[in-house]
Homo-oligomer: A and B are copies of this chain.
Amino acid sequence: MSQRRRRLRLGMVGGGQGAFIGAVHRIAARLDDRFELVAGALSSDPQRAQASAAEAGIARSYADWREMARAEAARDDGIDAVAIVTPNHLHAPVATAFLEAGIHVICDKPLAISLAQGEALARLAREKNRLFALTHTYSGYPLARHARELVERGALGEIRVVQVEYAQDWLAEPIESSGTNKQAGWRTDPALAGPAGCLGDIGTHAYQLAAFVTGMTPHALCAELHTFVPGRRIDDHVQAMLRYRNGARGMLWASQVASGAQNALRLRVYGTQAGLAFDQEEPNELWFTPLGGMAERVSRARVKSAIADHATRVPPGHPEGYLEAFAQLYKDAALQIEALNEGRAPPPESRLLTTVDDGVAGLRFIDAVLASSAADGRWQEIGAACSAGDG
Q: Which of A206-214, A319-327, A354-362 contacts B (4 or more CB under 8 A)?
A: A319-327
A274 to chain B, nearest CB (A): 5
What is the bound-complex CA distance between A251 and B252, given in angstroms?
A: 9
Which residues from chain B contact A275 at a C-beta distance below 8 Å? 169, 258-261
Q: A346: CB under 8 A from chain B? A: no
B294 touches A294 (CB 8 A): no
Q: A310: CB under 8 A from chain B? A: no
If the complex has contacts A260-B293, A262-B317, A283-B319, are A253 and B255 also in contact, measured as CB distance less than 8 A?
A: no
B222 touches A4 (CB 8 A): no
Considering the complex, give the chain B residue whose CB is closest to the CB of A141.
B319
A26 touches B31 (CB 8 A): no
A270 touches B258 (CB 8 A): yes
B317 touches A263 (CB 8 A): yes
Chain A 159-184 interface mask (CB, 8 Å, partner B; 1/0): 01101010111101100000000000
What is the bound-complex CA distance between A33 and B36, given in angstroms?
A: 11
A219 to chain B, nearest CB (A): 14
Q: A107: CB under 8 A from chain B? A: no
Tally of chain A residues near chain B (CB < 8 A): 94
Which residues from chain B contact A315 at a C-beta distance below 8 Å? 20, 170, 262-263
What is the bound-complex CA distance between A54 and B54, given in angstroms?
A: 29
Near B by CB (< 8 A), chain A positions 217-267 give 222, 224, 226, 228, 237, 239, 241, 247, 249, 251, 253, 255, 257-264
What is the bound-complex CA distance between A335 and B299, given in angstroms?
A: 35
Considering the complex, give the chain B residue whose CB is closest to the CB of A240.
B241
Q: A73: CB under 8 A from chain B? A: no
Which residues from chain B contact A128 at a C-beta distance below 8 Å? none
Which residues from chain B contact A288 at a C-beta distance below 8 Å? 260
Q: Which of A33, A284, A322 has the most CB of B within 10 A?
A: A322
Q: A390: CB under 8 A from chain B? A: no
A260 touches B313 (CB 8 A): no
If the complex has contacts A56-B4, A251-B239, A379-B376, are A314 and B319 also in contact, measured as CB distance less than 8 A?
A: no
